[in-house]
Structure 1
Amino acid sequence: MLYPAFVEVDKDGTASGWFPDVPGCLFAGDNMEAAFADARSAIDAHFELLSEKDLPIPGAHPMEEHVVNDPGTYTGGRWLYVDVNMDKFDGRAERINITLPHRLLERIDSTVKHKPEYGSRSAFLAVAARNELHKSD
């Protein structure tokens, strides 16, 4: 899942930022690249802690939504998106037996084949389920 982050770069080149959807998750670095790396580490650590405490992990909203809902907060900086593999925060995997129409299954398999970031049919279905559940949040 892609989480937007807002980054401010100081005159000396150092950068710091936060995730609007993840209260308290801050990051920084000596430059933009280091800040981006720290953003990945920070959100992973934050979600790991939430998961360990059995607290809900917030969903991501589009950057445009933040800009519209909170004008003035996001000026003078840059946006970046951090891709978070949500599988590691969902708990242990559980095997289930489901029935799907053959044509739908073929389309899923074709998508997985052409988009290796999914890795498997199960990963694709997990992403689709998370996206649908996020809409209802």
Structure 2
Amino acid sequence: MFFTLGIETPTDGNTAYGIVVPALCNDKYGCYSAADKESDIPAMATEAILLTIQDMIESGDYDIKSIHNDHISYKSNDEYAHCDTWVIIDVDLSTFTGKQKRINITLPDILINRIDNAVKAPNSFYKDRSNFLAEAAINELSLHK
């Protein structure tokens, strides 16, 4: 799943990069981390994301489907005004959703082309066709609880 990170660049050599994951910040949780080096940001953010999601799921109050990452709105949110850089990282959440399994499906070629175009679009957050279909299935199933 893709997560937007807000990063606060240190102002001196004695301060770490501050990291916030707004998609995992709510009334009960906050997802924050820090990294001494810029190159450590993805690893530190991934660790914070996985620990926060694990705690959220174990609490019984949340599941993977309830996590929504609104990439566009965070930058304009005053709560994150301290963040001077915004990046998106992909974090594998398969340990929380189950093991991957290959299946064969049949779809009309027109639909496959539309899916592929959505995946290849410049503003797309889908990794590939399978990711698109998995997200579509999760969304559809959540509507029919």
TM-score normalised by length of structure 2: 0.62
**What amino acid maps onto 2:22 in structure 1?**
P
8 Å contact 1:5–1:17 — kept in the other structure? yes
**What amino acid maps onto 2:63 in structure 1?**
P
Pair 1:90–1:33, CA change in 2 (3 A)? same
Asked whether 1:59 is paired with 2:65, we answer no
Pair 1:101–1:31, CA change in 2 (3 A)? closer
Q: What residue number does 2:21 align with? A: 19
**What amino acid maps onto 1:49 in structure 2?**
D
**TM-align CA RMSD:** 3.6
Any gaps of 5 or more consecutive residues in structure 2? 121-126
Partner deviation per Cα, 1:73-97 (whole Å, 9 max, x = no partner): 3245211212122433224678999
Give how far 1:38 is off.
0.3
Pair 1:50–1:29, CA change in 2 (3 A)? same
Pair 1:72–1:97, CA change in 2 (3 A)? closer
Asked whether 1:103 is paired with 2:75, we answer no
Q: What residue number does 1:84 align with? A: 91
CA distance in 2, matches of 1:93, 1:108: 24
8 Å contact 2:6–2:80 — kept in the other structure? no
**What amino acid maps onto 1:40 in structure 2?**
T
Pair 1:25–1:126, CA change in 2 (3 A)? same
Secondary structure, counterpart of 1:80 in structure 2: strand
Percent identity between the two aligned chains: 26
Aligned length: 125
Secondary structure, counterpart of 1:44 in structure 2: helix
CA distance in 1, matches of 2:83, 2:55: 31
TM-score normalised by length of structure 1: 0.65
CA distance in 1, matches of 2:84, 2:141: 31
Q: What residue number does 2:123 align with? A: none
**What amino acid maps onto 2:17 in structure 1?**
A
CA distance in 2, matches of 1:86, 1:103: 30
CA distance in 2, matches of 1:40, 1:5: 10
